[in-house]
A = this chain, B = another copy of it.
Amino acid sequence: MSVAKPEDLPACEPAARPRVRDRIFETACELFYRHGIRAVGIDAIVGAASTNKMSFYRSFPSKDELVADYLRHKDAHFWSWWDEVVAPYQNQPRQQVEALFEAHVNKTCSKESRGCGLANAAVEIVEDEHPGRAVVVSHKSEIRRRFRALATAMKARDPEQLGDALMLLMEGGYLARLTFPKGGPVVSALRAAQTLMDAHGA
């Protein structure tokens, strides 16, 4: 592993892999999201990435580990999206939720959307031992935690109840997206969230 002339400056990062690994990873992410995890094999990935299987296995220990990486990537991407959407409304939890739902509706209605990659993985990955399973579980737990925290911050009458309800609205939109070509019921998500927050006096 660690090559780097040991004498001077061992280059903190492991030389930042040139490109093949990134090309494979990017391709895999798109294919997994668009067609599902089980539906996409290694051959399909390396084919689409214009490389070969050996180059793949030089960069990734196994498909399952690649899947876990894909899910970690989706997780990180999701939270940076969240933080970005929320940023303009410091200490305004209600506005934060509204911004989140507005952005969520837009994102989910776009024609490239296939819902939430993490949620889809929750359907496809059943085995507890799969390295991606833990990523999915902790992702969804964090969503619940954050919605409840927001509900608390906005002084809702029953914060846990409101937080859960908001999460259900969001997750439901992801799921519905898969069967309704234009998004379907998701379009009502923002107003539903507002109605709930109003009713909770927040």
Contact = CB atoms under 8 A, between A and B. Distances in A.
Interface of A: 34-36, 38-39, 115, 119-120, 122-124, 126, 136-137, 140-141, 144, 158, 160-161, 163-165, 167-176, 178-180, 184-189, 191-192, 195-196, 198-200
A140 B196 contact: no
A168 B185 contact: yes
Given A196-B192, A196-B195, A179 B36 contact: no
A173 B176 CA distance: 12
A175 B144 CA distance: 13
A189 B168 CA distance: 8
Nearest to A119: B175
A185 B167 contact: yes
Contacts of A163: 185
Given A36-B124, A123-B36, A199-B199, A137 B167 contact: no
Contact of A188 (B120, B168, B186, B192): B168
Contacts of A198: 199
A39 B36 contact: no
A168 B36 CA distance: 22
A68 to B, nearest CB: 15
Contacts of A195: 165, 195-196, 199-200
Given A126-B35, A168-B188, A175 B174 contact: yes
Contact of A167 (B119, B167, B176): B176
A163 B126 CA distance: 31
Nearest to A120: B123
